[in-house]
Chain A
Amino acid sequence: MKKIMLPLTDETVCSLKTGDRVLLSGYIYTSRDAGHKRMCEALEKGEKLPFEIENSVIYYVGPTPAKDGQIIGSAGPTTSGRMDKYAPVLMQKGLRGMIGKGERSDQVVKAIKEYKCVYFGAIGGAGALLSQCVKSNESVAYEDLGAEALRKLYVEDMPLTVIIDSFGNNIYEIGRENYLKSKT
């Protein structure tokens, strides 16, 4: 597995190919449905986002509450498709990576190619395992959204798979084809 240190550079993004298994380390932001809606509303009004979006990575997650002494609760990915409406404009503003699970719309794939971004998959349902990679967790904005608040996490060796690379190749198509070909 390739080790990747954030922030993402052009070189790293271009070197990542669909199906690559990587261990990601660095600062990432968390956001899901309600947070995305707010960010896009802010952009529409010409307001600034509450974090530096240039070259950033967003993790689509709504964790379980942390117990005392825990950094974060169970923290696996949520279905990315629900953020499709908002993702292209964020990529246009500088977002470089997204972490989630499941298919993306054609518009999102188009934006991934256009802005040279990458869509990573975290294992859906592996919230306990993924929580262990989170080393720090601080609130950035939208506290009132509870599990959906915008947070900044430091992750270490977070196991991910490249689902859609910056060339638009998609593991959901290629992985399946390759497997079926290997069977014939």
Chain B
Amino acid sequence: MREINVEKITDAIENMCIEANLYLPKDIKCALITSQKKETGQIGKEILGDIIENFKIAEKSQIPICQDTGMTCVFFEIGQDVHFVGGDLYQAVNEGVRRGYEKGYLRKSVVGDPVLRGNTGDNTPAVIYTDIVKGDKVKITVAPKGFGSENMSQIKMLKPSDGVKGIKDFVLKVVEEAGPNPCPPMVVGVGIGGTFDKCALLAKKALLRPIDTENPQKYYADLENELLEVINKSGIGPQGFGGKTTALGVNIETMPTHIAGMPCAVNISCHVTRHKTQVI
């Protein structure tokens, strides 16, 4: 049994909130740079140039990459031999978010009630997921999620008979309907299988995987590549102004499902796809 004081978690979350909003992950930066070289649309090429300039300025001048510093999603992989001490884990996470968003001059974009609204003033509560895994380590990933792209996400309970074609059509429909709203180039997270709720979580988790990696199963790796190619033939382009670079990457995550179903969720993200991971 390894004891971890939750204060450590608070500190880690605080730092990750700030860093995730200042430094774009390397895979996204590389994809933007490569896409700009390959872009043939004139406006699209210029826009990508500005987007590259933007993440450089963010790093250099320590200004958030995007003003929508997101709702904070926190993913835990907790080793089953870990024992948290010194307080409540979820409270510790929210304290980290509170401090990170204050000290990092990040925008507080969370309302306390979905209908009655009212800004909570400190970006809490975070959306927290915990997975229990082997070992005595804790892996934390902080992913601030902007809502320009979150609002463009969809889920569909496809029928088994819809097959892979049903999945392709649905993903393309979601991208098409998203159009210019999620600040393209986008990153597309696809979840297939599980239940209604689990499928949406798979799609969200797909966005955490670097876009220069592939699904370990060849069938899905091929599907990722195929979908990316088709999406980038749509012509939507950077910011929706026309061009090749509509998406930077498509990631698919799957899991077993029921004999009667084939749930499919598409979580849309933008060129400011942020995540930061730390192992304690």
Measured CB to CB, the residues of A under 8 A from B are 19, 21, 61-67, 70, 73-76, 78-79, 81, 101-103, 121, 123-129, 131-132, 146-147, 159, 161, 171-172, 174-180, 182-183
* Residue numbers in B under 8 Å from A125 (CB-CB): 51, 54, 65-66, 146, 183, 270-272
* Residue numbers in A under 8 Å from B61 (CB-CB): 128, 132
CB interface residues, B 151-194, toward A, < 8 Å: 151, 179-181, 183
The SS class assigned to the A binding surface is mixed
* Residue numbers in A under 8 Å from B53 (CB-CB): 126, 129
* Residue numbers in A under 8 Å from B235 (CB-CB): 176-177, 179-180, 183
Q: Does B46 contact A (CB under 8 A)?
A: yes
Given contact pairs A73-B64, A146-B119, A159-B50, a sample of 20 additional A-B residue pairs in the complex whose CB atoms are under 8 Å apart: A62-B67, A63-B107, A64-B63, A70-B63, A73-B107, A74-B107, A125-B183, A126-B50, A126-B53, A126-B54, A126-B66, A127-B64, A127-B66, A128-B54, A128-B66, A131-B63, A147-B107, A172-B180, A175-B243, A176-B237
* Residues A129 and B67 in contact in the complex (CB < 8 Å), given A123-B239, A176-B242: no
* Residues A124 and B237 in contact in the complex (CB < 8 Å), given A73-B67, A76-B67, A182-B40: no
Measured CB to CB, the residues of B under 8 A from A are 40-41, 43-44, 46-47, 50-51, 53-55, 57-58, 61, 63-69, 105-108, 119, 146, 148, 151, 179-181, 183, 234-237, 239-244, 270-272
Contact present for A123 and B50 (CB under 8 Å): yes
Q: When the two chains form the complex, which single residue of B44, B64, B146 contacts A64, counting CB atoms closer than 8 Å?
A: B64
Which of A63, A101, A172, A175 is most buried by chain B, counting CB atoms within 10 A of its CB? A175
Question: Closest chain A residue to B233 by CB distance?
Answer: A183
Contact present for B271 and A101 (CB under 8 Å): no
Contact present for B55 and A123 (CB under 8 Å): no
CB distance from B272 to the nearest CB of A (A): 5
CB distance from A101 to the nearest CB of B (A): 7
Contact present for A179 and B50 (CB under 8 Å): no
Q: Give bound CA distance, A172 to B236, whole Å.
A: 8
The SS class assigned to the B binding surface is loop
Which of A73, A102, A103, A127 is most buried by chain B, counting CB atoms within 10 A of its CB? A127
Question: Closest chain B residue to A19 by CB distance?
Answer: B43
Contact present for A129 and B57 (CB under 8 Å): yes
Question: Closest chain B residue to A81 by CB distance?
Answer: B181
Q: Give bound CA distance, A124 to B243, whole Å.
A: 16
Contact present for A128 and B65 (CB under 8 Å): yes
Contact present for B67 and A123 (CB under 8 Å): no
Contact present for A127 and B67 (CB under 8 Å): yes
* Residues A64 and B41 in contact in the complex (CB < 8 Å), given A124-B183, A129-B57: no
Q: Give bound CA distance, A128 to B62, whole Å.
A: 9
* Residues A101 and B239 in contact in the complex (CB < 8 Å), given A64-B106, A129-B53: yes
* Residue numbers in A under 8 Å from B58 (CB-CB): 74, 128
Contact present for A176 and B236 (CB under 8 Å): yes
Q: Give bound CA distance, A121 to B64, whole Å.
A: 20
Contact present for B57 and A101 (CB under 8 Å): no
* Residue numbers in A under 8 Å from B51 (CB-CB): 123, 125-126
Contact present for B105 and A66 (CB under 8 Å): yes
Contact present for A123 and B54 (CB under 8 Å): yes
CB distance from B123 to the nearest CB of A (A): 11
* Residue numbers in A under 8 Å from B181 (CB-CB): 79, 81, 101-103
* Residues A161 and B241 in contact in the complex (CB < 8 Å), given A64-B67, A64-B69, A65-B105: yes
Contact present for A102 and B180 (CB under 8 Å): yes
Contact present for B67 and A19 (CB under 8 Å): no
* Residue numbers in B under 8 Å from A64 (CB-CB): 63-64, 67, 69, 105-107
